[in-house]
Structure 1
């Protein structure tokens, strides 16, 4: 159907505007961490927020108040999980992946590349993007929990204390 009734369009405009405004306020109040760089858990919450907003907009079976409670619940759960993982580091492993060392002191760790489905080409691309042209001059490449590749040059590695939470990274 192309068109049912003007009241349906007005409902989408009014409820959509109210739901959008509520979500923006909720995200501002909850802080930057709610939509920080996405790890797997953050991605699920973000997709759920979008799905909930779409349902509020398009389903006449869902009242605005129900949708607002659902949005608040998702943001609240995200806040609780973020709070818990900063207070109890052991709980972090339940919702985020540990960083993985892919290259250490110029040596490519092929087992780690295979385990995380990263090609040597992707590794070299990350090294080039960091401004390095020689793998032997790279101190470490880390696959971070959000899927990004961090490159630390050998000259910047220092005591490698930035790699303290990366399994397998020894100074």
Structure 2
């Protein structure tokens, strides 16, 4: 089955766009830790391409034209998101969460930890993995957009310019 109807093509475009936006919003609302190493639009496209391909291959209810349209739509949406994040002021913050400061000058920031759903034990583990045994020796721990923890020791903090753009607890 190569083509069923224009209505089916339009349905894929409309439902595909709505599903893509919904998934990005849901992932953005659930926080950085949900993504663990991927930003929202990378995860959406990776999962969606795989799922779409499986559906095209396994479901007789989806024509090839619908599947091809869905894949092209995902690629176009990915391009649009990538373009927005690099060309529009504030575009990146729509799709990708800003990094958050969790430790400042050796002090755990309880409000930031709670807001980002990170435990003190997770922060201590990240500090230990750098070879440091004392939080007092740490200038900053940052929860990055991909869910990883970056640890900056006091001896390497310099002028702290690497922390520009990092969100501080309110």
Query: Offset at 1:131?
Result: 2.3
Identify the residue that residue 88 of structure 1 maps to in structure 2: 88
Give deviations 1:110-156, integer Å, cap 9, x for gaps: 11001111000000111112222211111111111111111111111
Runs ≥4 residues deviating over 4 A: none
How far apart in 1 are the matches of 2:46 and 2:58? 18
Query: Offset at 1:46?
Result: 2.0
Query: Offset at 1:76?
Result: 2.0
How far apart in 1 are the matches of 2:164 and 2:86? 16
Task: Kindly indicate whether the alpha-carbon contact (under 8 Å) linking 2:139 and 2:157 is maintained by their aligned counterparts in 1.
Answer: yes
How far apart in 1 are the matches of 2:78 and 2:130? 32
Which has the larger displacement, 153-162 or 125-134?
Answer: 125-134
Q: Once superposed, what is the RMSD of the aligned Cα atoms? A: 1.7
Q: TM-score, normalised by structure 1?
A: 0.71
- Please, which runs of 5 or more residues in structure 2 have no aligned partner? 1-36
Identify the residue that residue 155 of structure 1 maps to in structure 2: 155
Query: Offset at 1:52?
Result: 0.6
Is 2:144 aligned against 1:105?
Answer: no
Q: 5 Å matches for 1:29-68?
A: 37-68=37-68
Q: TM-score, normalised by structure 2?
A: 0.72
Identify the residue that residue 76 of structure 2 maps to in structure 1: 76
How far apart in 1 are the matches of 2:97 and 2:140? 18
Identify the residue that residue 29 of structure 1 maps to in structure 2: none
Query: Offset at 1:61?
Result: 2.2
3-state SS of 2:94 partner: helix
How far apart in 2 are the matches of 1:131 and 1:88? 40
Identify the residue that residue 145 of structure 1 maps to in structure 2: 145
Larger radius of gyration: 1
- Please, which runs of 5 or more residues in structure 1 have no aligned partner? 1-36
Identify the residue that residue 14 of structure 2 maps to in structure 1: none
Give the length in aligned residue pairs.
133
3-state SS of 2:50 partner: helix
Higher relative contact order (CA 8 A, sep 6+): 2
Query: Offset at 1:89?
Result: 3.4
